[in-house]
Amino acid sequence: MTSTSYRDALREAHRDALQRDPRVILMGEDVGRYGGTYAVSKGLLDEFGPERIRDTPLSELGFVGAGIGAALGGLRPIVEVMTVNFSLLALDPIVNTAALLRHMSGGQFGVPVVIRMATGAGRQLAAQHSHSLEGWYAHVPGIRVLAPATVEDARGMLWPALNDGDPVVIFEHAQLYNMTDELPQPFSADIEHAAVRRAGSDVSLITYGGSLWKSLDAAQALATQGISAEVIDLRVLRPLDEATLLASVRRTRRALVVDEGWRSGSLAAELLARIVEGAFFELDAPPARVCSEEVPIPYAKHMEDAALPQVPKIVAAVRQMMGR
C-alpha cells in the first residue's frame, strides 16, 4: 500500500480514465490552466491538451448542459461543478433531462455523464459555499449518487461511474481533499454497496462523506466508555444499499444517522424511515439522528462548528439512546 491524499487519488483517477478511453473529457470552471479549484486537475491540461481538459465560462446551467449534450453525442464527460450550492443553477439539465432521458426514450438513450462537485462545510466559506444538498439529488430517479469518503473510494469510483451508462453525481466533501491515507493495491471500485468501516455490537452509526471520520472518532470515544459502535459508510446515496444498512441495525439493535444535511426533509429522515420499515421489531431503542442545525451555515468559526454535527454531539446522542 502507498500513502496518498484524497486530492491526488482523484487526480490519478482522472488521469487513468483519460488514458483508458479517448472519449473521456474533463470540463468545468478553472479545471485547465488553474488546475482546478481544489487542485484535482493540476497538470492534466499539459498532459492531455485543451481538447480534453476544457475550461468553461462561469455558467453552471450552460456547461453542465453542454456536458450532457456531449454525452449524448458519444463522449464520456466528467463535469466539475465548483460547489454543490452552484449546482442548483444546473438542476434543470440534470433533473429534467439527464435523469429522465432513458425513461422518456423508452430505453433508447442513456446519458453517460459524471458530474462531480464539492460539498459540505467546516472551512469558513459562509452559506453560499457550505451546504450539503446530497439528499436533493438522492431523491431523483434516474441518477446514481456517490459520496466517496476515503482515499480508496476517491481513486476507485470514477471509472465505474463513467461506465455506468446513466448520469452519476459524485459528492466530494471539501474537507477531505487534504486527507491522506493508505491506498490499497488493488483498490476497490465499488459503486453499488455500503461499507462497514468499523464493526460493533451496541449501536450502528450510519453516515457518509465528511461525517464518516467524525463518526469513527465518536466510535473510538464511545469504546472508552464501554459502548461498541459499528460505523456504516453509505458511499452510495442512490440507490441505497438497504441490505447492508438493515443487516447492521439488526445486529446492533440501535441506529443513529449522522448527516451534515438539515434535519427537515433530509436523507437522514429517509434512512430512519427505511430502518423502521425494515427492522422495527429488532430495535431496542428509537432510531435517532444528528444533523446540521436548521440555519444557513454561518461564517464565524465558532458558529459554524456549533451548526454542524460534531463528535461530542454524536457521543451524547448514543449515550442518550443507551440510557447512559
Q: Across the strands, what pairs with 213?
A: none
**CB-based contacts of 225: which residues, under 8 Å, 6+ apart?**
319, 324
C-alpha span between 323 and 319 (Å, rounded): 6
**CB-based contacts of 293: which residues, under 8 Å, 6+ apart?**
262, 306, 307, 308
C-alpha span between 213 and 226 (Å, rounded): 20
Q: Across the strands, what pairs with 127?
A: none
The one catalytic residue among 129, 131, 260, 304: 129
Is residue 14 among the annotated active site residues? no
Q: Nearest-CA neighbor of 35 among 11, 12, 52, 70?
A: 11
Give backbone dihedrals phi and psi of 62, rounded to 5 degrees, phi first. Answer: -70, -50
C-alpha span between 99 and 90 (Å, rounded): 12
Order across the sheet with 229-233: list the strands: 195-198, 229-233, 203-207, 255-262, 288-292
**CB-based contacts of 191: which residues, under 8 Å, 6+ apart?**
144, 146, 157, 160, 161, 164, 168, 235, 236
Is residue 129 among the annotated active site residues? yes
Give the up-direction half-sphere exposure of residue 112: CA atoms within 13 A in the CB hemisphere.
17
268, 291 contact by CB (below 8 A)? yes
The one catalytic residue among 60, 80, 270, 304: 60
Please list the active-site residues: 60, 129
